[in-house]
Structure 1
């Protein structure tokens, strides 16, 4: 298996360190009271191994694994991602730590120790790209505080709502998913990140430097705020398309073809009025999405309903067409109507520049 395929493969194969990027240096526990100060007790995983309570990971293991064929570097690279609650940045795992993680999880088959330098380079590069895309969204938030990554969770076996929607229309699922929690002066926002593989670009991949944006074309990163609030929905459906139209943010990943579609309706109301209308009209839709839990179909249906509700405010003709198509038995018609509504929302946002 090549270094690239060790980083970007279908679920169930060798997905490198899906749950441990970026990796923080663990600190030991011990007696709850040391020098009159409270020290958090040690926590343990299901195997009885001590773990860092901040990221639920074992302490960094820089020792060679049993049977390791060659020595690996223990050097770690500092990321440019600010760490929540500190003035530091997160630190990436070393090649030795990556190899040990693969061995520990039983995912070393098909990979070799010689792959690890390239694997770590791709891993670090993808995280830097993810953070760069998060900062684009953070432009939409106001306040004096710098965004910092507070914590993260790898969820490779769980499809996001958007990934489920795409799969319904024949798109392949992502090979990995992360949730990152970004803190800004105590105000947190959860970001959902899906990582997709484009095998048609595999032959063009190169081992990237930390901030290369085009060296690894076969991995596509889809970053957006979770629909945990109406404000996040307005960012996704209205404000971010405007930034993209101005060339101030990365374009979205391809979803539906949007050519040869008529222009969206464009109400004369300014953004604040439109946002207030969306808040009033879609509060129940937002609540349904927020409360859908782990029921994938229920969450997917709630996400479509919320998007349709926003569309009834800003592009009512496309919303009505989608509603008619949705209750028909024609799947192709429903898909086309959804694509038209999705494109109309994007065009509306692009056409309404800030005052």
Structure 2
């Protein structure tokens, strides 16, 4: 929990849009992607061949431009100028509840491509479908990390909803700043790259009506030996309420004790050998 990583060995309409990792499997058949709990820096749509003409990596979906009627990004399904390939316009339903009856949908490949074009990113059209699958996969993994935090507050997370979300690329969170400082001081131990994107997700707990803000930092990690890209996520409740502060402290304390017990057990085993 906290941070998670994905690689191009595994691959969420984007409700979106450092060192501990978990694995997951990607829906893309050609290359796999993995997910874990700890993060690094570059866009989920940024394979080497899909880089966006020297522009900073970030999610192409403008999460701030939401339709006031349905809280969904307004994205065109029409072909972009000079587009040469037909791209699918079907949208994939996510596993993330938007309200009591509906779930969020991810953008179609055509909408995703239009968002890239609007931002001026040069993207091979034949790779867009794979990029969408990676994008969706990363956000599904982010939601699973959110649910892990929510399970600490209640055993029943089946009705937890993502009420709203906002993309905040370029706004570095305090925790990300801390890790950047750590990387500057100890580059051999910590990541020196900033997150390529940041999202704020507002999660609603229907049983109490409470809303909790989560911060998600998206990082890129070193690629797999075969060149497959790896991404990681740092997901945690924002420190804007007493309950969230308490939960973050409790979780950090549990991690420290777990590491201590593991190291102590390892030391005892070595002495017994």
Structure (1/2) with the larger helix percentage:
1
Smaller-chain TM-score bracket: 0.5 to 0.7
Structure 1 partner of 2:160: 147
Q: What displacement does 1:10 show?
A: 11
Cα pair 1:174 1:195 within 8 Å, conserved: yes
SS at match of 1:189: strand
CA distance in 1, matches of 2:72, 2:91: 19
SS at match of 1:102: helix
Q: What displacement does 1:147 show?
A: 1.1
SS at match of 2:96: strand
Q: What displacement does 1:192 show?
A: 0.3
- May I ask how many residue pairs the two structures share in their alignment? 206
Cα deviation, 1:305-341, whole Å, max 9, x if unaligned, reads xxxxxxxxxxxxxxxxxxxxxxxxxxxxxxxxxxxxx
Structure 1 partner of 2:202: 181
Structure 2 partner of 1:67: 82
Q: Choose from 190, 199, 222 the match for 2:234.
A: 222
CA distance in 1, matches of 2:219, 2:170: 14
Q: Assess, with a 3 A threshold, how the Cα gap between structure 1 residues 5 and 118 changes in structure 2: closer, same or farther.
A: same
SS at match of 1:71: coil
TM-score (norm 2): 0.66
Q: What displacement does 1:201 show?
A: 3.1
Q: Assess, with a 3 A threshold, how the Cα gap between structure 1 residues 229 and 219 changes in structure 2: closer, same or farther.
A: same
Structure 1 partner of 2:104: 90
TM-score (norm 1): 0.52
Cα deviation, 1:141-185, whole Å, max 9, x if unaligned, reads 137672110011001110001001111122321111110000002
Q: What displacement does 1:63 show?
A: 0.8
Q: Choose from 45, 52, 57 the match for 2:67.
A: 52
Q: What displacement does 1:61 show?
A: 1.2
Q: Assess, with a 3 A threshold, how the Cα gap between structure 1 residues 6 and 240 changes in structure 2: closer, same or farther.
A: farther
Structure 1 residues 342-353: aligned runs within 5 Å:
343=256
CA RMSD of aligned residues (A): 3.1
Q: Choose from 125, 150, 174 the match for 2:137.
A: 125
CA distance in 2, matches of 1:175, 1:156: 7
CA distance in 2, matches of 1:117, 1:99: 9
CA distance in 1, matches of 2:61, 2:54: 11
Cα pair 2:165 2:202 within 8 Å, conserved: yes
Cα deviation, 1:92-123, whole Å, max 9, x if unaligned, reads 1110000111111222x2x1111101000000
Structure 1 partner of 2:221: 198
Q: Is residue 91 of structure 2 the alignment partner of residue 76 of structure 1?
A: yes
Cα deviation, 1:280-319, whole Å, max 9, x if unaligned, reads xxxxxxxxxxxxxxxxxxxxxxxxxxxxxxxxxxxxxxxx
Residue range with higher mean Cα deviation, 115-124 or 2-11: 2-11
Structure 1 residues 108-119: aligned runs within 5 Å:
109=122, 111-119=123-131
CA distance in 1, matches of 2:225, 2:164: 31
CA distance in 2, matches of 1:231, 1:346: 24
Cα pair 2:61 2:115 within 8 Å, conserved: no
Higher gyration radius (CA): 1
